[in-house]
Amino acid sequence: MNLLHDYPEISFALMVAVALAASPFLQRFIGRVALRVAIRTETVLDDLIVDALRPFRFIYVLPASLGYYLSDWVAPFDYEARLVSGLVLIFLGVEFAIKILGAIAAVIRHKAGVRGVSSTGYIDLLKILAVLVGLAVAASVTLDAELSRIIAGLGAATAVAGFIFHDTLQSLFVGIKIASFDLIREGDWLSVPSYDADGIVEHIGLYDIKIRNWDQTTSLIPTHKVLDVANRNYSSMQNEAKARQIVAKLMFDIDSVRLCDRDFLEMLKEVALVSDLAVEKLETMGDSGAVEPNPQAAHELATNYDLFRVYADRYLRQRQDLHQKRYFILVRTLEPNRDGLPMQIFAYARETGMVAFSDTQSNILGHLIVMARVFGLKFFQYRLEG
C-alpha cells in the first residue's frame, strides 16, 4: 500500500501495462470458450452471435477502464490520461454496439429463412446512430463539456446535415416503406430493367440493394432509387401464388384452315381427346360423303382449326403439372392479321423455377406443334427468297 501512496504514477503505469499485457491472452481464452460452446450447441443462433463478436476486442475495456478511473493517480497528466482512456472506451463501445447489431441482423436473416427479410436498413440506421452517439460523447470528453450541450448543439446543424445526408434520409424513408409494406425481401427474384438487374436479392442495406444476376454478375441499386424506377418482383408468383403463367401464341397459315370432310373425321376418331367430337360431326354429316353444302347447317360442321383448338384446351386440362382449378386455362382465337390466324394459350404451371418451368412450357409447345400437323394445319413463317 505504501508503494501506491508513494509512487502513484508508477503504480498506475504498472496496472495499466499488466492489464494490457493480459488482455490478448484473455481475448484468446474467451474466444476459444465461446467457439467451443457455440460448436457444441445445436442451435445456430449462438454461432451467429459468436461469429459477429469476433475477434472480441471488447476485452480491452479492462485496461481502458483502469486508465480512465485511475487517472487521478497521475495528477500532472490526469486530463490526458482520462481523455485517451475515455476515447478508447468510446471506440470499443461503438465497435461492440455495431457488432451486436450485426449479430441481430444475422439472427433475423436466419429466422426468416428462405422467406428473406424485407430490410436491414433499420440495423444500418442504428449503426449510424451508434457512431453519432459515440462522436457526441467523444466530443463531450474532449471538450470537457456536458453531453446535453453537445447534443443541443447538434440541433443547429440539422439543416446542414439534412442537406449533406439527403440520400441517406431518402434511403431511410424508402427502407421504412419497403419493410412496412413488405415490398422486397432478401431472396426475392427482382427485375429492374433500368439498372440492367435481373436476379436474386442478396442484401438490402440502407444505401444499396445487391442483386445477384442470372449471369452471376452483381448489380448494386441505390435503395432510394429502387422504388422510383420500374421493377418487377416475382416473389408473389413463387411463394404465394406458386404458379407461373404460360402465355404462348401459335400463328397458323389461314390457307391451311378448312372444313372437315369424312375422311379427315374418320382419321380424328383415333385421336383420343377429340374422338367424341369426330363421331358427333360424322353423325351430323349423315350418309353423305361430302361436306354439307347447306349454309343453315354450316354451324354444325367444324374446321380443322376448331377441332385443334378443342384438342389444345383438353390437352392442357389433363396435364398434372398445370393448375386446373385454382387458375384458368384458356385457348382462344385472336383477330387474323397479315401474319396469319393467331391462337393464344393461357395456363399456369405448378413449377415456378426457371428450369422446371421451361421444361413444362417446352413440352406443351412441342406437343402442340407436332399435333397441329395431324390436324392439317400449317404454321405461318417468313421465308427468305433464294
Which of 56-65, 110-119, 256-265 shows the highest mean pLDDT?
Answer: 256-265
Query: Where is average pLDDT lowest: 124-138, 151-165, 323-337?
Result: 151-165
Query: Where is average pLDDT lowest: 141-150, 224-233, 287-296?
Result: 287-296
- 54 DSSP 8-state letter: T
Torsion of CA 109, 111, 116, 122, to 10 degrees: -50
pLDDT for the residue 386: 47
Percent helix, strand, coil in the chain (nearest 5)? 60, 15, 25
For the entire predicted model, the pTM comes to 0.54
What distance lies between CA 127 and its chain's CA centroid? 23
Q: Is 59's pLDDT higher than 60?
A: yes
Q: What is the DSSP string of 139-180?
A: HHHHHT--HHHHHHHHHHTHHHHHHHTHHHHHHHHHHHHHHH
Q: What mean pLDDT, rounded, does the chain reach? A: 75
- Cell for 169? 434520409
Burial class for 81, CB neighbours closer than 10 Å (0-12, 13-18, 19+)? buried
Say if CB 187 and CB 200 are below 8 A apart.
Answer: yes
- pLDDT tens column, 10-43: 665 666 666 666 666 766 776 677 667 666 666 6
Higher-pLDDT residue of 176 and 374 is: 374
- Cell for 313? 384446351
- pLDDT tens column, 316-349: 999 998 998 888 899 999 998 888 899 999 999 9
Q: Can you tell me the mean pLDDT for 141-147? A: 62
Q: Is 310's pLDDT higher than 80?
A: yes
pLDDT for the residue 297: 46
CA distance 247 to 357: 12
CA distance 295 to 290: 14
Percent of the chain scoring above 90 in pLDDT = 14
